[in-house]
Amino acid sequence: EDKVVQSPLSLVVHEGDTVTLNCSYEVTNFRSLLWYKQEKKAPTFLFMLTSSGIEKKSGRLSSILDKKELFSILNITATQTGDSAIYLCAVKDSGAGSYQLTFGKGTKLSVIP
Amino acid sequence: GAGVSQTPSNKVTEKGKYVELRCDPISGHTALYWYRQSLGQGPEFLIYFQGTGAADDSGLPNDRFFAVRPEGSVSTLKIQRTERGDSAVYLCASSVGPGTEAFFGQGTRLTVV
């Protein structure tokens, strides 16, 4: 059974701080790892990672995958109050043919002024 | 449409009633997924459609849950004899194909009283 564990479960930082969110996984037939930001109800796509060691970057957010050690990190630099959200990590398993996503419980990030 | 659209955004129903939740995916997306998210948890896979067919329904919790996608676009998730434990946010996602990133709708918050 596929498994995704995120840490920490919650985090409170001040504006301007840099944060690192962790995601470790176990998956039978790894295809990709995805990060989402969830505010209110809809998860918003951030990154999809398929290859080890290649950093994906978008503004102040970046992410990298280590397929040997089975983990990924999401970095946010110079945090802003608008970064407050739940960050979800998910892995895609291609073994069943459905490419379903298995999600972690998320990291709740709170950025205070 | 511009994004995945789900209706209604909120639904309150009495225990034992039947409900239908609708998902209108991004135009041209052949893959469609339903997930369920309980409080404090990540989304959990329910069912995957490729075109009109349910390619993987292994996540449906029991036979009270059923979903259709008759014309390969709009999908309806149907829940019979609702129970209080069915209360959750039901999320729909679509993607161009099964191996590409999935985009989520705003979800339907179902409350069974």
Tokens 């802003």, located at residue:
A80
pLDDT (tens, 9 = 90+) of chain B, 113 residues, equals 579 999 999 999 999 999 999 999 999 999 999 999 999 999 999 999 999 988 889 999 999 999 999 999 999 999 999 999 999 999 999 999 877 888 999 999 999 99
**Percentage of the residues of chain B whose pLDDT score is greater than 90:** 86
Q: Tell me how crowded residue B45 is: count the other CB atoms within 10 A of its CB.
A: 23
Chain B environment of A45 (Cβ under 8 Å)? 101-104
- For B45-58, write each residue's pLDDT tens digit: 999 999 998 888 99
Helix (H, G, I), strand (E, B) or coil at B85: helix
List the single best residue of B23, B29, B104 to mutate versus A (max A Cβ within 10 A): B104
Per DSSP bridges, beta strands A71-76 and A85-93 are unpaired
